[in-house]
Amino acid sequence: MVVRRRQQRGHRYTESPILQLALQGWRSRMVGLLLMAAFFALLMRAFYLQVINNDFLQEKGDSRYLRDIEISASRGKVTDRHGDMLAVSTPMRSIWAIPADARAMSGEQKRQLSEMLDLKPRELDSRLASEKTFVFVKRQVPPQTAEQVVALKLPGIHQEKEYRRYYPAGDMTAHLVGFTGVDDKGLEGVELAFQQSLLGRAGARTVIRDRRGNIIEDVGATRPPRDGNDIVLAIDSKIQYLAYSHLKASVSEHKAKGGGIIVLDTRTGELLALANWPTYNPNNRERLSGEQLRNRAVTDTFEPGSTLKPFTVALALEKGKYRYDSLVDCAPGRITVGKAVISDSHPHGTLTVAQVIQKSSNVGTTKIALSMPPQSMWEMFDDLGFGKVPQLGFPGEVTGRLRPWKNWKPIEQATMSYGHGISVSLIQLARAYSVFARDGDLVPASLLRIDQPVTRGVSVFSAQTAREVRAMLELVVGPGGTAPKAAVPGYRVGGKTGTAHKLERGVYANKYIASFVGIAPISDPRLVVAVMIDEPSGAAYYGGQIAGPIFSRVTAGALRTLGVAPDAPMQVAASTEAKGRL
């Protein structure tokens, strides 16, 4: 009875009015719908990102693991005309680091790394202290050294392939070929002039890396590398060696400041040799000066002196003012033009036009020049390329100095006729002389090999004029000429000497530039050889004494190298040379 009453008075726990929800029915349904809508929105968003537009998530994932590694392209080779190597790329390695990971190295590991790479410990610590995610530790490391570094399994230290330029001919072709920097870009010479052609295009390869930079998987090449194009130069290594070695010996013998030499093929305009002294070794450029780097034959200008006289005479012949055997009164060895007096080094009486060249008479040349209008002389110099860039495509080419003819005074016209008051580079002078070798026409000079002779150039003089001037040039190296030491045994050759004071700060100093430009052989010209010696300091300083012998030795070797048949009896040529030494 008691139990039954308690049951009537009590309530079940789950039916307590306190625990019952006070929400109305429509509200509970709304909450349920909102939850379902939110869940559906999340589901659609996930579907959109993972199925329809998954680029974003893919990009984020790739950025953490995928890397594009550059595949270096080999720079094109530079060879001489016969394929002898002048510049070639050799495989090397670059050692690089992820500084944050590399800091985990122990002191002993750092010591080993610095010793292998020949780095000072402070220098290594400085590079690893960088906040960057990538730093070069050392570049252009030999492959065997790089493999030793890899074998240490140092944290954060990695290697990549690259190339280093090597120059087999060394200092012999340094000014011509030039060199590249550590990033394989041309900085001087042909390496700079043909940078775009030689460079090639680097490739790329995609890999998967972990957080420490270790490659887990090679995905594949995305862009294959394209090696650079090879460059075939016009120079002949044998002739280059002749030119370089004889120039070096002459500069040393005469204690000169420097010099330059060019050997030009008259049939094509090709540069068979171009050398300068002082020079440098492009394989070791730790201590270089401006004197060593200058390509004097292309970038330096000088007053050519008497080497310009044949052009003045050629113009007079062309204009009909004089003939080969016309007489010119050169007595008493001096002439007054305005307030200035022009003198010969040795007084002469009456000379033929040919003898004016043979004896190198300033007085005779001045009289011939003043018989013509200034404009005609200027136009001739302009046609010859003076005052213009030679357009070899070589870095640092200069124009020289050729003032407008309207500003010429009579004394200026006179001095320019024998090579003063005008400046040229050695390459300009050598190219200009080719008009006499090519019967009056001028062709562009070329650094690159040309496989076919150039049949026609720009006409400057008639063939008759060119041949007559060639005959005059031959007299210069014969008895009574100013350059008997330039004679070549077995060959008929001709040329012209030049001896000019150097112009320093607008004043002519007691310093000289000795030069000689010649043609060989005279009967069928094949070569023009131009030599310039800067500031010979011995007792001799005339072009015939200093530059003439270099011409003789280089020309003799070059003609034999090219297989050019002799056109004069050996004993006659040798006799002529012997007389010249007396």
Cβ pair 71, 225 in contact under 8 A: yes
Q: Is 387 in the same domain as 335?
A: yes
| CA torsion angle 309 312 315 317 (round to 10) | -60
Kindly report, residue by residue over 232-290, the tens digit of the pLDDT.
999 999 999 999 999 999 999 999 999 999 999 999 999 999 999 999 999 988 778 77
Structure tokens at 162: 């690259």
Cβ pair 343, 383 in contact under 8 A: no
Asked if residue 386 belongs to a domain, the reply is yes
pLDDT score recorded for residue 168: 95
* pLDDT-derived band at 1, boundaries 50, 70, 90: very low
For residue 56, what are the CA distances in angstroms to 43, 44, 63?
Answer: 17, 16, 11
Q: Which residues pair with 401 in a beta bridge?
A: 423
Which of 192, 164, 193, 189 has its CA nearest to residue 75?
Answer: 164
Asked if residue 260 belongs to a domain, the reply is yes
Kindly report, residue by residue over 391-422, the tens digit of the pLDDT.
898 888 999 999 999 999 999 999 999 999 99
pLDDT score recorded for residue 47: 76
Above pLDDT 70, what percent of the chain?
Answer: 86
What is the mean pLDDT of the segment spanning 139-167? 86
Asked if residue 62 belongs to a domain, the reply is no
Q: Is 210 in the same domain as 308?
A: no
The amino acid present at 355, given as its one-letter code, is Q
Q: Is 241 in the same domain as 204?
A: no
Which of the two residues, 538 and 427, has the higher pLDDT score? 427
Asked if residue 475 belongs to a domain, the reply is yes
Q: Is 439 in the same domain as 550?
A: yes
Residue 384 sits in a domain whose CATH number is 3.40.710.10
Domain of residue 87, residue span: 68-99+137-232
Q: Other CB atoms closer than 10 Å to residue 159's CB: what's the count?
A: 17
Q: Does the pTM of the predicted model rise above 0.85?
A: no
Q: Other CB atoms closer than 10 Å to residue 18's CB: what's the count?
A: 4
Cβ pair 158, 213 in contact under 8 A: yes
Residues known to be catalytic:
306
Asked if residue 345 belongs to a domain, the reply is yes
Which of 391, 403, 376 has its CA nearest to residue 316?
Answer: 376
Helix extents (H) in 10-74:
25-47, 55-65
Number of domains in the chain: 2
Quote the CA–CA distance of 570 and 574 in Å, as a whole number: 6
Asked if residue 205 belongs to a domain, the reply is yes
Mean confidence (pLDDT) of the chain = 87
Which of 352, 350, 365 has its CA nearest to residue 315?
Answer: 365
Element (H, E) at 400: none
**Left if phi > 0, otherwise alpha if psi is -120 to 50, otherwise beta: which for 441?**
beta
Quote the CA–CA distance of 455 and 268 in Å, as a whole number: 8
pLDDT score recorded for residue 222: 66
Quote the CA–CA distance of 257 and 277 in Å, as a whole number: 8
- Find tokens 């392939």 and name the residue: 161
CA atoms within 13 A on the CB side of 545: 13
What is the mean pLDDT of the segment spanning 520-534? 97
Asked if residue 130 belongs to a domain, the reply is no
- Name the 3-class secondary structure at 34: helix
Asked if residue 126 belongs to a domain, the reply is no
pLDDT score recorded for residue 542: 93
Cβ pair 271, 450 in contact under 8 A: no
| CA torsion angle 473 479 485 490 (round to 10) | 80
Among 176, 201, 232, which residue terminates a domain?
Answer: 232
Q: Which residues pair with 96 in a beta bridge?
A: 136, 158
Q: Is 331 in the same domain as 350?
A: yes
Kindly report, residue by residue over 539-578, the tens digit of the pLDDT.
889 999 999 999 999 999 999 999 999 998 865 444 444 3
Q: Is 570 in the same domain as 522?
A: yes
Among 198, 232, 266, which residue terminates a domain?
Answer: 232
Q: Is 89 in the same domain as 220?
A: yes
Among 204, 232, 260, which residue terminates a domain?
Answer: 232
Cβ pair 532, 547 in contact under 8 A: yes
pLDDT score recorded for residue 59: 62
With a cut of 70, say whether residue 204 has pLDDT above it: no
